[in-house]
Structure 1
Amino acid sequence: MADFSGNQGNEINEIKRLLWGTIKDDVFRRWAQGFCFSSDEPTALVQNHGGPCAVIAPVQAFILRNIITEPVGNNWREVEQDTQNELLVGAICEILVQAARQNGGRFVLVDTCDSPTATPSPNNDSPTLDHSSVDYIEQPADESCCQKQFHAHLRVLTFENKEEVETFYLQRIYTLQGTYGVLLFLYSVIMTKGVEQIMAEVNDPAEPFIDDTYGYGSQSLINLMLTGRAVGNVWDHEQDVGGLKLLGIDRQSEIGFLAYLEHMRYLEVGSFLKNPKNPVWVLESETHLTVLFSFEKRLVSLETPGEIARRVFRKFDPEGNNFIMSSKLGELLKALDLVSDAEYVKVIMKKLDPENLGIILLNAFLAEFYPDEKTSVPDTFNLYHYNGLPGSCPDGKVCYQEGHAVLLECDIRCVLESNPMLTCLQTKWQNIEIQWQQGVTPSLN
């Protein structure tokens, strides 16, 4: 068991400040839940209260990513308890691996003293359980003491590789499923990443990761879970905003991210999150996180040159108007490694802007430089949606909702404020239409 009298104890206090600011008991209680699967959908996690979706939804997304990439049997919607445990631990380890990249690859896990102590086996292989040394948390006299009791009975364990972490969690699956399972995992991610490294990535170190009124997770917390970096923005790379360089996503992510509020220009989701490595996206509404996924892997196939050009074009078209000023044409060509000397730019500018309007249309640009390229995305595909809150699901049952998507030929988008799901998905597929089974559109909230 770790001794908190030194640096590790200080780090736990730093994590408390980073996450909570000032801890409020009612907010803490919302987060006090374990990772438990739905009785109606064996691979879907249940969320008890608003708030912890910032951790539960990313874990769910990695569970689905692993189901898609590594089939679990003939029927992925019917799995046994052992497979459930393996999927949960596998997802959690993937998130920890991302967090460990900038910490020398070491894993630092936070556990409670009420579980059996982990001791190295004689041959220094994976940890084994020592049931002879067990400390139990005394039950708090009233609910207001729960956060004090939780923080008073923590220990820190260090592991050198992913295999040791997997063994540790599979032997202690009850810890993940117990009252503090979500929080213990969250603390482990932060401890593995390192508070100092996290503080160097966030936009505002003084802003806690968890809202002290409603318990919602910040964008930095969501990004940490999805990508391993605690940056506060979802655009690609970094952007200069009023002289400040604000960090964004630095690489194509394993799991994607789409936001309902992007259509209102409150934020900008970059290509690295809109086009992840796997056909799984966390969807963000104003108050909640859910997950969209598909088994159609062509949705995330490698970008074609034309798709890369679309992405780069957007950098010069931040308002999303599908045109840029003619004066930016040379910079665009250079960014795409196309011929960009001054004389050539003049010739192409005259061709793309024959009426001398001072703008270059996206479609005209693509037709000139990528005339024969076909999109890699299929016209039709099936989608599934997950919402972990029983009250937001049909009949109060946490189940995947299936829909059939069609990409229309027209480029005209009809934004329906009454259909947040469609509006959110249109930020990626502008011309998408979806027919949901049972005729009920899933809720983002």
Structure 2
Amino acid sequence: MERSLSPVTEQELLGIKHLLWGPDIKHEIFKRWSQGFYFSTNEKSALEQAEGGPCAIIAPMQAFILKKLLADYNGLSFRYSITEEIQHTVLIHALCEILQQCSTERYHIIYLKNQDLERESSSSVINGDTSKEEFNDNDLATLNEIFDADAKIFHDNLVVHMYPLIADVEKYYKENINSLKAQYGVLLFLYSVIATKGLEHVKMESGTNDPLIDETYGYGSQNLINLMITGKAVTYVWDNYQDVGGLKLKGLDKQSQIGFITLMEHLRYCTVGSFYKNPIHPVWVLGSETHLTVLFSDERKLVSPETKSEEARRIFKSFDPDGNNFISSSSLQEVLAALDLVSDQEYVDIMKKKLDSENLGIILLNAFMDEFFPKEESSIPDMFQLIHYNGLARSNVNKEVQYHFGSAILLESDLKSINDSDPMLTCLQTKWPNIEVQWCDNITPSLN
């Protein structure tokens, strides 16, 4: 394996530290982020999150793990086939896929030069040095209590190596799998992502001086979430650019491998575009006000190519960012042109009079669809299975991390039921407006 000392300087490592944490690191927040990647003993393909905070890394990682497992196995049969070797394989595959999305030409892997730090938080426990009993991966969840996280010691011991090929990175992680499970596994990978992307690239894409980890509450910013899911540290979640008060603000530039939907869209804090809502694989990171979880399905048709009528609805709604189900009459020509329909001025004027007969200056979505796509077709089945993952044990049934199953149905009505006491349904309705879900045992899983 070719390996060389990286051109990443000590100053750049300090820059990454400042970008993530700001000028001061709160001990309690750093401690919550100081955990390794380890799997639940109850749901062997599911990562566990020990404390609130690092879901910005763990939830996207889980989503990429599920993408791999759904592609490699028939449906959900992987649940009964998981071994420690498979856990290592899918974890490393997910790590490498995220790094590949961030890399332009090389990979910068950050590790601890003082190996005693890693021995204290992994080898001594794994080898049974702290007890006569045998320890498993799940015991790594308690490492923050055994070895107190120290931000200064951690940052004083960071070293970077550069690898030209992703195969080299994969080999490194296979040989150092215990460092991923150890106390600083999540943080070392996060620093590797930033270093691989490039500090200046992240700063340029994010366009903000705010730390990527909130200084008060310790949660990851949307820039960090976007970086983990797409390799781009942009602030916004809409497609391409949106004009906001004369400023062209950049969102995603292409369809994502895994998706993202969020309760914050219902609360009007953001607008999630089609690139995120309709990813390549039927796996979505779900956002609440404080936490990230994952939704997935074994129904591949949920991400089938759009029909012409679905494309028409999407493009129409891109001119209706407030979700009012109407557009300004002046936008009709642009909508028709975007759909490769007749858009010369004379025809547009005729259609404006027909679709806005009362001259109100607006065109309703239903009127537009009835005129141009009267026989609507859907690529999505009316009924399908959804599965939810929450990495915090305390947020699961019986306080154990496990997948929660639901049977979804898409209602025919155009009217959706708003129920603010059911944040899960409200979140899903930002993607499927007419969805209803019957969850197993009548227990709605928690977004928090």
TM exceeding 0.5: yes
| Aligned-residue identity in percent | 54
Q: Please, which of 276, 285, 288 is the counterpart of residue 285 of structure 1?
A: 288
2 CA distance for matches of 1:114 and 1:364?
67
- 5 Å matches for 1:318-337? 318-337=321-340
1 CA distance for matches of 2:79 and 2:186?
23
Deviation of residue 319 (structure 1)?
Answer: 1.3
In structure 2, the residue corresponding to 1:442 is in which secondary structure?
A: coil
| Structure 1 counterpart of 2:12 | 11
State whether residues 25 and 144 of structure 1, in contact with CA within 8 Å, keep that contact through their aligned partners in structure 2.
Answer: no
In structure 2, the residue corresponding to 1:47 is in which secondary structure?
A: coil
| Structure 2 counterpart of 1:347 | 350
| Structure 2 counterpart of 1:171 | 175
In structure 2, the residue corresponding to 1:91 is in which secondary structure?
A: helix
Deviation of residue 97 (structure 1)?
Answer: 0.5
2 CA distance for matches of 1:96 and 1:2?
18
Residues 1:162 and 2:166 are matched in the alignment: yes
Judged with a 3 Å threshold, the aligned counterparts in structure 2 of structure 1 residues 167 and 73 are, in CA distance, closer, same or farther, namely farther
State whether residues 31 and 149 of structure 2, in contact with CA within 8 Å, keep that contact through their aligned partners in structure 1.
Answer: no
1 CA distance for matches of 2:310 and 2:275?
12
Deviation of residue 152 (structure 1)?
Answer: 1.4
Q: Deviations over 1:169-189 (max 9, x none)?
A: 111110110000000000000
| Structure 1 counterpart of 2:127 | none
Bigger mean CA offset, 419-428 vs 148-157: 148-157
Kindly tell me the number of residue pairs found equivalent between the two proteins.
Answer: 417
1 CA distance for matches of 2:280 and 2:259?
8
2 CA distance for matches of 1:208 and 1:177?
26
Deviation of residue 262 (structure 1)?
Answer: 0.8
Runs of 4+ in 1 over 4 A off after TM superposition: 1-4, 142-145
Judged with a 3 Å threshold, the aligned counterparts in structure 2 of structure 1 residues 58 and 219 are, in CA distance, closer, same or farther, namely same
| Structure 2 counterpart of 1:294 | 297
Deviation of residue 74 (structure 1)?
Answer: 8.1
State whether residues 312 and 332 of structure 1, in contact with CA within 8 Å, keep that contact through their aligned partners in structure 2.
Answer: yes
1 CA distance for matches of 2:282 and 2:75?
19
| Structure 1 counterpart of 2:122 | none
Q: Please, which of 353, 372, 375 is the counterpart of residue 375 of structure 2?
A: 372
State whether residues 70 and 76 of structure 2, in contact with CA within 8 Å, keep that contact through their aligned partners in structure 1.
Answer: no
Judged with a 3 Å threshold, the aligned counterparts in structure 2 of structure 1 residues 51 and 196 are, in CA distance, closer, same or farther, namely same
2 CA distance for matches of 1:164 and 1:7?
18
Deviation of residue 316 (structure 1)?
Answer: 1.5
Any unmatched runs of 5+ in structure 1?
Answer: 117-138
Judged with a 3 Å threshold, the aligned counterparts in structure 2 of structure 1 residues 321 and 397 are, in CA distance, closer, same or farther, namely same
State whether residues 203 and 246 of structure 1, in contact with CA within 8 Å, keep that contact through their aligned partners in structure 2.
Answer: no
Judged with a 3 Å threshold, the aligned counterparts in structure 2 of structure 1 residues 273 and 157 are, in CA distance, closer, same or farther, namely same
2 CA distance for matches of 1:235 and 1:74?
31
| Structure 2 counterpart of 1:113 | 113
Residues 1:386 and 2:385 are matched in the alignment: no
C-alpha RMSD of the superposition: 2.0
Bigger mean CA offset, 314-323 vs 362-371: 362-371
Deviation of residue 3 (structure 1)?
Answer: 6.7
Any unmatched runs of 5+ in structure 2?
Answer: 117-142
2 CA distance for matches of 1:271 and 1:65?
19
One-letter amino acid of the structure 1 residue matched with residue 312 of structure 2: A
Judged with a 3 Å threshold, the aligned counterparts in structure 2 of structure 1 residues 23 and 74 are, in CA distance, closer, same or farther, namely closer
Judged with a 3 Å threshold, the aligned counterparts in structure 2 of structure 1 residues 309 and 74 are, in CA distance, closer, same or farther, namely closer
One-letter amino acid of the structure 1 residue matched with residue 49 of structure 2: Q
| Structure 2 counterpart of 1:244 | 247
Judged with a 3 Å threshold, the aligned counterparts in structure 2 of structure 1 residues 257 and 196 are, in CA distance, closer, same or farther, namely same
Residues 1:149 and 2:150 are matched in the alignment: no
Q: Please, which of 304, 309, 314 is the counterpart of residue 306 of structure 1?
A: 309
- 5 Å matches for 1:151-300? 151-204=155-208, 206-300=209-303
2 CA distance for matches of 1:263 and 1:85?
37
- 5 Å matches for 1:60-139? 60-71=62-73, 75-78=77-80, 79-100=82-103, 103-104=104-105, 106-115=106-115
2 CA distance for matches of 1:74 and 1:58?
19
Structure with greater helix percent: 2
TM-score, length basis structure 2: 0.89
